[in-house]
């Protein structure tokens, strides 16, 4: 959710909109190339800024902290969405962040990734490769 908030903020800044009026679809993971924005025609510089937003904050604070307020806001948005692990077929990976529709009974629909442009297809493959390695490492750690 933190990456969605960053994406919404940066896109709103570029477009001169209120970030609360922007809803950028972000899937994948939460680090570098695993963060995949699904905006066809997106300026690649903006994608890089969103992917490295956390690093920018740490550097701006000279290593003395992180995006505390943003993380708190993301936690509130996350709690509002009541998201939890949901098994899906969005990708072949056992874990992959994606958009869902929540209802009275929890997750009522898992949205597919949808059509991607070439830039997004390449980004998705990079994200899946990185996530697969991270997932394997996590599962291996749990087995110890």
Using alpha carbons only, what angle is made at residue 45 by residues 41 and 50, rounded to the nearest 5 degrees? Answer: 95
Q: Burial code of 118-144, b = ≥16 C-beta within 10 A, e = fewer?
A: eebeebbeebbebbbebbeeeeeeeee
Catalytic residue chosen out of the listed positions 25, 30, 91, 110: 30
Q: How many Å apart are CA 144 and CA 131, to the nearest integer?
A: 20
Looking at residue 47, its pLDDT comes to: 67
Residue 11: Cβ within 10 Å count: 20
pLDDT tens sequence across 85-135: 677 888 999 888 888 887 888 788 988 988 999 999 999 999 999 999 999
Residues facing residue 35 across a β-bridge: 28
Looking at residue 41, its pLDDT comes to: 45
Residue with more model confidence, 24 or 81? 24
Q: Catalytic annotation on 104?
A: no
Topology of domain 2-142, CATH: L-2-Hydroxyisocaproate Dehydrogenase; Chain A, domain 2 (3.90.110)
């Amino acid at each position: 959710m933190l990456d969605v908030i960053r994406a919404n903020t940066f896109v709103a800044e570029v477009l001169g909109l209120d970030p609360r009026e922007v809803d950028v679809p972000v899937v994948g993971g939460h680090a570098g190339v695993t963060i995949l924005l699904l905006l066809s025609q997106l300026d690649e510089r903006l994608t890089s800024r969103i992917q490295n937003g956390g690093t920018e904050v740490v550097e701006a604070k000279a290593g003395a902290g992180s995006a505390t307020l943003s993380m708190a806001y993301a936690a509130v948005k996350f709690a509002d969405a009541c998201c939890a692990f949901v098994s899906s077929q969005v990708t072949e990976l056992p874990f992959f962040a994606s958009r869902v529709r929540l209802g009275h009974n929890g997750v009522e629909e898992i949205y597919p990734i949808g059509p991607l442009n070439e830039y997004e297809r390449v980004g998705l493959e990079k994200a899946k490769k990185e996530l697969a390695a991270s997932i394997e490492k996590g599962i291996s750690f749990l087995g110890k």
